[in-house]
Amino acid sequence: MAAPKVYKNFINGEWVEARCGKTFENSNPADRRDVIGVFQASDKCDVEDAIAAAHEAYRSWRLVPAPKRAEFLYRAAQMLVERKEELARDMTREMGKILKETRGDVQEAIDMGFYMAGEGRRLFGHTVPSELPNKFAMSVRMPLGVCGIITPWNFPMAIPSWKIFPALVCGNTVVFKPASDTPLSGWNFVKILNETGLPKGVLNFVTGSGGAVGVPIMKHKDVSVISFTGSTEVGRMVSEACAPDFRHCSLEMGGKNMIIVMDDADLELAVDGALWGGFGTTGQRCTAASRVAVHKEVYKEFTEKFVRRAKNLKVGNGLDPTVEMGPCINEGQRNTVDSYVQVGKEEGARLLCGGQPLTDGDWEHGSFYQPTIFGDCDPKMRVAQEEIFGPVVSVIPFDTFEEAVEINNGVIYGLSSALYTRDVNRAFAAMRDLYTGIVYINAPTIGAEIQLPFGGTKHTGNGHRDAGQAALDVFSEWKSLYVDFSGTLQRAQIDTNA
């Protein structure tokens, strides 16, 4: 077999090796014998080079008119369209999720590219009437400087696009650290942006571990804002690193999302939603529906249908078009999933299906796990409270709508929730009372669109949002401007009637 390709960092417009000379291999989670490539195991020295390049490039990039900055994004989106299938196949091979999903991942990056390119001719501020005569008042956005972008492995192109595109169109420069499990998709994304003719130093790419690369980025005083998606534990570290210097950070972290199935729900539709919400991306989404609360009137019927469908899901290599669920991202994550299954059993949850790693035959060299459902769960059980990030769903019975809302809100996270019902009044009550950043009616907890804000409440985030126009607030500061053309001293906020 040919030696795997070596991929380099991208710093100041050049593809370069890590200064320490160290590398790491990236393997296919569906078949660990398949080495995707060799990537740079960078350290603080490489991070400092990238930040220095971005800091210098910011001087001129911020002065490029926003519509011109947007043209680079538009060209990148066009290239993503042209290479969508190739990029999706690379992503399935390095991340494991099925081709339909990786095509969707690339499509999100395409959509975000075109959307944020449009913002280059908007980036709206406000003009407002002054309280004084012959005075003009307005507000504008101004860029922040160098942005540190740290992204997870489950959406290795979509999530970087949510952050990098708005950062660039606002006039910032970027240092991007992808997840070590999925560096190829990040590399592909950066390569395309470089091919648009982006000036050197505007976008920099450094691979390596969180400790060796992520921590130096988050602690560096020349990084004005950190945009992070990942675990709540690491998000807390980002917040603490930025706090002493009052540097900005945007955090999108964990979730323990729930689907509520009422007694008047379309059960077939609800089962479809629970299946996709619980086992799409092998449950490895921050928006995954890892809890399903079902009204006791329909609990037995729903659970039987749900279990039957889950047992029939085809698990395997995502490049096979007949496969419906891929592997866990790595062996460590599969072990975490299995440990939670043991916790569920010990807590008294009733194992309805799954509960075992898949290790024979075609699964032998991958990190596969059975689609797993626990029934009769108490909402306070650990499997119903803690984020598992795998194909494990806890089904919880309830009596009333009010009880279901209380169960939904009774976790430390607040990302996404869903309600299945035919009652429009109850639907609107749910939209009001479910304390999550995203609420779906008659749809699962996954499937957010790029033109609306993405993020959550409580331990899911720190009040900022990815995507939509809300992303612009992460990567820009407001500046209020006043022009007095009266030729005299006018004093605002002074009582002129005194």
- The token pair at 493 is 């906020």
- The token pair at 209 is 């571990």
pLDDT per residue as tens digits for the range 424-436: 999 999 999 999 9
Asked whether residue 188 is domain-assigned, the answer is yes
My answer on whether 24 and 157 are in the same domain is: yes
Mean pLDDT of the 271-286 span = 98
Q: Phi/psi class of residue 442: alpha, beta or left (left: φ > 0; alpha: ψ in -120 to 50)? A: left
In the predicted model, is pLDDT for residue 494 greater than 80?
no
CATH of the domain at 35: 3.40.605.10
pLDDT band at 497 (very low <50, low <70, confident <90, very high): low
My answer on whether 174 and 75 are in the same domain is: yes
Pairwise CA distance, residues 54 & 74, whole Å: 21
| SS3 state at 174 | strand
The total number of structural domains that make up the chain:
2
Structure confidence at residue 425 (pLDDT)? 98
Asked whether residue 249 is domain-assigned, the answer is yes
Structure confidence at residue 1 (pLDDT)? 63
Residue 186 lies in domain: 9-253+461-480
pLDDT per residue as tens digits for the range 377-393: 999 999 999 999 999 99
Q: Give the residue numbers annotated as catalytic, written as ranges.
A: 252, 286
pLDDT per residue as tens digits for the range 74-117: 999 999 999 999 999 999 999 999 999 999 999 999 999 999 99
**DSSP notation for 273-325:** HHHHHHHGGGG-STT---EEEEETTTHHHHHHHHHHHHHT--BS-TTSTT--B
Pairwise CA distance, residues 272 & 374, whole Å: 17
Closest CA to 126 of 134, 117, 137: 137
CATH of the domain at 354: 3.40.309.10
